[in-house]
Amino acid sequence: MSKAIVVGSGPNGLSCAVELARAGLDVTVLEAEPTIGGGTRSSELTVPGVIHDECSAVHPMAIGSPFLRSLGLERHGLEWLFPEVDLAHPLDDGSAGVLVRSIDETADGLGSDGGSWRRVFERPSRGFESLNDDLLRPFLHFPRHPFRLARFGLAAMSPATVLARAFETPQAKALFGGVAAHSFAPLTQPMSSAVGVALISACHAFGWGVARGGSQSIANALAAELAEHGGTIETSVRVTALSEVQADIVALDMSPSGIADMLGDRLPSGVARAYRRYKHGPAAYKLDLAVEGGVPWTNEACRRAGTVHVGGTFEEIVQTERENNQGRMPERPYILVAQQYLADPSRSEGDVHPVWAYAHVPHGYDGNAEQALIDQLERFAPGVRERIVATHVRTPAELQAHNANYIGGDIVTGANTPKQILIRPRLSLNPYSTGIPGVYICSAASPPGGGVHGMCGYNAAQAALNGLRGR
């Protein structure tokens, strides 16, 4: 029986391990940290009984992932729960752009921009399950749905500032812009619409759900699936050199620079140069709150929303993302807030609820942004400060210490530049190959990039199995 070792137990490492084990290989996952899950870990960060997601929190791409859907992980206890409102984006006048799974209900709520919303998002959302088959694969592949992919590309290739011209109202513009900003990229940049169009389409297709009990449940379900196929996981095992692992296949759920450090002179010079030049983007500054009675948002829809984007108008978000990418800390940062307890009350303790938030800040930012985050929350939810009973902060440096793939606090494992959206981590017909026979990269630095969908790991496993058959 051929043997495989996967280094790293994030969702991509676990997905790679599962696919290799399903193919009949003897698979071992080695995880440096005491707990598995990478970006899908959950724990009691503030007060006992209140469950916080440590990084990834809301999972439209996981729910729609072709690979994860094929596994039937509900057999291992994974259950998706949905809030009444998927996303709300409040403005200073008390209004908000509101996104729900129904595209008709969303469009109706956007008034005069309802028709424009349908024109931009109806086709990709109606066919998103098929579209995902192509979006979640390497750029250089023969598309299964070429016409659908081409139509998606027309919108996705645009700068977000250009696509936003389809909308007239500040609510629709801000709603789209807040989702596009998930890319951490300048919204004036070509292809900065891609993440926004994909995530909004995924919402209309599947909803923005959360995992019952915390994002850790995703990792636990994948681990159970791996065990079902004979695979094993060892925690608190840090691999620093290729000589420490002996297997027919070695898959690395690691950043390109981490792989370059680990493989050293074994790595072909051209690959080493590409991995060393791989670009990382702005950082996250993570703030977890335990809030008594929940956040007192001025806008009523925000009180029912699983996710709230706090950043003001579209124009404000364009400015803050520009500043972050130029290395300047914005005075009013763009913040993603998740209220998972609205769909999953098991995460709360009595009337004390977990509120998950992170701000976009410059790469490697070493200042204190906690007050800036709370001030932004106060802007749209006056009185929230008095309801906070405990806080937990992770700075960009602490995020990297907690997960070595988050270089400089870059939680999406790579800047979403046009080049790296299309070609990552290097130009190659087989982007998962490190150039060393049998050794592969399977992290979010490989196609299709960030998000809890497991497809980087699945695709890398397929590349590894093809390489094994060709020997």
Region 392-409: mean pLDDT is 97
Predicted confidence (pLDDT) at residue 152 exceeds the cutoff of 90? no
In sign, the C-alpha dihedral spanning 466, 468, 469, 471 is: positive
Predicted confidence (pLDDT) at residue 378 exceeds the cutoff of 90? yes
Strands (E), 9-49: 26-30, 42-43
Q: Which amino acid is at 119?
A: R
- pLDDT number for residue 7: 98
Region 251-261: mean pLDDT is 97
Q: Is 75 exposed, middle or buried (0-12, 13-18, 19+ CB in 10 A)?
A: exposed
What are φ and ψ of residue 410, in 5° steps? -75, 95
- What is the maximum span of the chain, computed from C-alpha positions, in angstroms? 65
pLDDT tens per residue, range 404-426:
999 999 999 999 999 998 899 99
49: left (phi over 0), alpha (psi -120 to 50) or beta: left
291's enclosing H/E stretch is strand 283-292
pLDDT tens per residue, range 19-66:
999 999 999 999 999 999 999 999 999 999 999 999 999 999 999 999
From CA 377, how far away is CA 382, in angstroms rounded? 8
CATH architecture of 3-44+212-278+413-469: 3-Layer(bba) Sandwich (3.50)
Predicted confidence (pLDDT) at residue 471 exceeds the cutoff of 80? no
Predicted confidence (pLDDT) at residue 83 exceeds the cutoff of 80? yes
Q: Which amino acid is at 333?
A: P
Domains 3-44+212-278+413-469 and 80-210+281-402 share a fold: no
For 57, how many CA atoms within 13 A lie in the half-sphere containing its CB? 29
Region 243-255: mean pLDDT is 97
Helix ranges (H only) for 264-342 are 269-277, 314-325
Region 358-374: mean pLDDT is 98
Measuring CA to CA, which residue among 2, 11, 1, 13 is closest to residue 251?
Answer: 13
Region 302-317: mean pLDDT is 98
- pLDDT number for residue 149: 58
- pLDDT number for residue 150: 60
Helix ranges (H only) for 351-436 are 370-380, 384-387, 396-402, 418-422
Predicted confidence (pLDDT) at residue 142 exceeds the cutoff of 60? no
Strands (E), 341-463: 352-361, 388-394, 439-441
pTM of the model: 0.95
**With contact defined as beta carbons under 8 Å apart, do 310 and 377 qualify?**
yes
End-to-end Cα distance, the chain: 15
Predicted confidence (pLDDT) at residue 86 exceeds the cutoff of 60? yes
Q: What b-and-e string marks burial along 108-130, b requiring 16 or more CB atoms within 10 Å of the CB?
A: ebbeebbebbbebbebbbebbee
Peptide bond into 282 cis (omega under 30): no
- pLDDT number for residue 106: 98
pLDDT tens per residue, range 106-129:
999 999 999 999 999 998 888 777
- pLDDT number for residue 470: 73
Predicted confidence (pLDDT) at residue 264 exceeds the cutoff of 90? yes
394 beta partners: 286
- pLDDT number for residue 326: 97
Region 349-361: mean pLDDT is 98
From CA 431, how far away is CA 419, in angstroms rounded? 14
- pLDDT number for residue 166: 96
Q: Is 27 exposed, middle or buried (0-12, 13-18, 19+ CB in 10 A)?
A: buried
User: 212 is written with which tokens?
Assistant: 């019952």
Region 319-337: mean pLDDT is 98
Region 209-231: mean pLDDT is 98
**With contact defined as beta carbons under 8 Å apart, do 456 and 422 qualify?**
no
From CA 465, how far away is CA 229, in angstroms rounded? 16
Q: Is 325 exposed, middle or buried (0-12, 13-18, 19+ CB in 10 A)?
A: buried
The helix/strand/coil state of 428 is: coil
Indicate the domain borders of the chain. Answer: 3-44+212-278+413-469, 80-210+281-402
Please provide the DSSP assignment of 70-113 as one string. Answer: HHTGGGGT--EE--SEEEEEE-TTS-EEEE-S-HHHHHHHTGGG
Peptide bond into 425 cis (omega under 30): yes
Identify the band that residue 144 occupies on the pLDDT scale cut at 50, 70 and 90: low
CATH architecture of 80-210+281-402: Alpha-Beta Complex (3.90)
From CA 1, how far away is CA 26, in angstroms rounded? 7
Q: What is the mean pLDDT of the chain?
A: 95
From CA 328, how far away is CA 337, in angstroms rounded? 22
Region 123-147: mean pLDDT is 69
Predicted confidence (pLDDT) at residue 145 exceeds the cutoff of 70? no
326 versus 142: which is more confidently predicted?
A: 326
Predicted confidence (pLDDT) at residue 350 exceeds the cutoff of 60? yes
Please provide the DSSP assignment of 113-146 as one string. Answer: GHHHHHHHHHHHHHTHHHHHHHHTS-SSS--SSH
Region 260-277: mean pLDDT is 96
- pLDDT number for residue 469: 84
**With contact defined as beta carbons under 8 Å apart, do 447 and 428 qualify?**
no
